[in-house]
Amino acid sequence: MLGIIRQRAAGKLHHALSLEQGIGAVGLRAFSSSAKQMTVRDALNSALDEEMSADPKVFMMGEEVGEYQGAYKITKGLLDKYGPERVLDTPITEAGFTGIGVGAAYHGLRPVIEFMTFNFSMQAIDHIINSAAKSNYMSSGQISVPIVFRGPNGAASGVGAQHSQCYAAWFGACPGLKVLAPYSSEDARGLLKAAIRDPDPVVFLENELLYGESFPVSAEVLDSSFCLPIGKAKIEREGKDVTITAYSKMVGYSLQAADILAKEGINAEVINLRSIRPLDRSTINASVRKTNRLVTVEEGFPQHGVGAEICATVFEDSFEYLDAPVERIAGADVPTPYAANLERSAFPQVDDIVRAAKRACYRSR
């Protein structure tokens, strides 16, 4: 069986290489020049390397993860270090190698399955939902499925409707899965380590436009024992006037919006969700009870989205604290356009977040 999954993929998808530089509009914060900088790409690569070194049961599998060193170079150097038995190139058959990974997890290994884009995970959704997510419950806890499904999620740039979808709400609706969406290098490194060590299946939603972005990291983050708790959000910026929740790339946009709002006397609190499932309801509600206003931001579709779930939990737990209607900022409810001008209009921009926060604070003009 291993001989089959080591076959080289019949073709390669090279569109990702043009996006290596990432985006400049992610809203990086100002930090001391003495802080060490690390790209999200390097954070993911180092987390994989350290977890593979620490646990021989961890292995990588996916299209082009070995010889090509990953479509986005996340697995760079791992084949040379760990060999083809633990860094497995596969054919273009997501249903096949995802099923093999789930079976390996049943038998105590810890596979990390890479999708070249989460849009391709649709080919393997039966294994993710019906096998990985439900087996522990259906076996009365006798079967653990310690597997990570990772790869780029959401919109990139100019890749059309079939390669631009956000799957946070899709997988976040499924009991049995844990769903993570990192923003910074600290997030990427700490959450991926947590995902690999977790006894349950984890869907790890990266963003390819963040791969090349650099963030400051502390000595603690660089320590091989560093790990972030699953299910815990991070307050990226404290504030008192309005709460803004976001995940992945939208955290950067929200921080930019907060800077603009501050110049107009609105002190916004920005929450980086980090974890979609489980959702850190306590942090969100505590913030709303302080600011009395809420703006949710996401790239995904508005109907049945992550923002809708956040609004529901705030209505259920903190309704009496709200001084204004909640605002939901999301992607347009249409398949992603290919034309650059229409594509930009289909996803939230910084100005959209600023206007929503002003409406919540009754400051719109």
In the chain the first and final C-alpha atoms are separated, in Å, by 64
Which position among 114, 127, 163, 208 bears the catalytic label? 163
Q: Which contacts qualify for 2-5: CB closer than 8 Å, 24 or more apart?
A: 2/85, 2/88, 5/61, 5/88, 5/89, 5/90, 5/91, 5/96, 5/97, 5/100
Contact 234, 207 (CB under 8 A): no
Q: How far is CA 87 from CA 41, 44, 107, 203, in A?
A: 18, 15, 18, 19
Sheet strands side by side (includes 110-114) = 87-89, 58-62, 110-114, 148-152, 202-206, 178-180, 275-277
DSSP H helical ranges for the chain = 2-5, 40-54, 78-82, 94-106, 125-126, 135-138, 168-172, 185-197, 219-222, 249-263, 281-291, 306-318, 340-346, 350-360
Q: Are strands 36-39 and 214-217 parallel, antiparallel or unpaired?
A: antiparallel
Tallying the residues shown for the chain, one arrives at: 365
DSSP for 187-213, written as a single string: HHHHHHHHHHH-SS-EEEEE-GGGTT-
Q: Which of 64, 94, 298, 343 is catalytic?
A: 94
Query: Are 24 and 157 a contacting pair, CB within 8 Å?
Result: no
Q: Residue 23: CB partners within 8 Å, gap ≥ 6?
A: 209, 210, 213, 249
Look up 163 and say whether it is catalytic: yes
Q: Is 14 a catalytic residue?
A: no
Name the residue type at position 54: A
Longest dimension (CA), the chain: 65
| Catalytically annotated residues | 94, 163
